[in-house]
């Protein structure tokens, strides 16, 4: 069975799978620098990851197959773009964690953070300010 290469591979099967740790690392670079080549991603990560170009390229090709990346071909150059936004990826990751650890309930998660994660005074103040601001914005006007 031969593989036909089209101009834009990785069309979105609807990426229902979550990103792996390696894919998160690559996506952060793509979100910052898109469109970019696998070589650009490998060079950007060279200081923190000793990944060979072939490892990065193979991973990015698989991410395109999963629907996380779209490949644009210009002659023999392959440019990768994200097909999932950073916000959508974070939302999916958060919902997975919330469902798994807290049965999908936000209040117990917040309580857990406050009671068990040693928030600094500044962090508590920021949370309080955010909650106050959000609560005021949602109050119906009379």
Question: What is the pLDDT at residue 76?
Answer: 93
Question: What is the pLDDT at residue 136?
Answer: 78
Question: What is the pLDDT at residue 39?
Answer: 97
The residue among 27, 108, 103 whose CA lies nearest residue 70 is 27
Question: What is the pLDDT at residue 124?
Answer: 86
> Distances in Å between the alpha carbon of 112 and those of 83, 107, 108, 124, 138?
33, 9, 6, 13, 24
The stretches of 75-139 forming alpha helices (DSSP H) are 86-102, 106-116, 121-138
Residue 2, in any domain of the structure:
no
The range of the structural domain enclosing residue 117 comes to 105-142
pTM of the full predicted structure? 0.75
Is the domain of 18 the same as that of 46? yes
Residue 127, in any domain of the structure:
yes
Average pLDDT, the chain: 87
Question: What is the pLDDT at residue 142?
Answer: 55
Is the domain of 30 the same as that of 73? yes
- Total domains in the chain come to 2
Is the domain of 46 the same as that of 76? yes
Beta bridge partners of 36: 80
Least confident range of 28-32, 107-111, 112-116, 133-137:
133-137
Is the domain of 79 the same as that of 119? no
Least confident range of 9-23, 27-41, 62-76, 91-105:
9-23
Is the domain of 19 the same as that of 63? yes
Distance CA 55, CA 24 (A): 15
pLDDT tens, 63-72?
Answer: 999 999 999 9
Is the domain of 79 the same as that of 129? no
Q: Which domain CATH number covers 40?
A: 1.10.10.10
Which strands make up the sheet holding 8-9, listed edge to edge? 8-9, 69-74, 77-82
Is the domain of 28 the same as that of 64? yes
Is the domain of 12 the same as that of 81? yes
């Amino acid at each position: 069975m031969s593989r036909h290469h089209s101009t834009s591979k990785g069309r979105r099967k609807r990426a229902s799978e979550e990103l792996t740790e390696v894919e998160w690392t690559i996506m952060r670079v793509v979100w910052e620098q898109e469109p970019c080549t696998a070589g650009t991603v490998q060079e950007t990560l060279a200081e923190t990851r000793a990944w060979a170009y072939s490892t990065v390229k193979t991973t990015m090709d698989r991410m395109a197959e999963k629907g996380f990346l779209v490949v644009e071909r210009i002659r023999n150059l392959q440019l990768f773009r994200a097909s999932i936004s950073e916000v959508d990826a974070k939302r999916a990751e958060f919902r997975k964690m919330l469902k798994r650890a807290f049965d999908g309930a936000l209040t117990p998660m917040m309580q857990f953070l406050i009671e068990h994660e040693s928030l600094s005074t500044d962090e508590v103040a920021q949370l309080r300010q955010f909650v106050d601001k959000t609560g005021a914005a949602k109050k119906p006007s009379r």
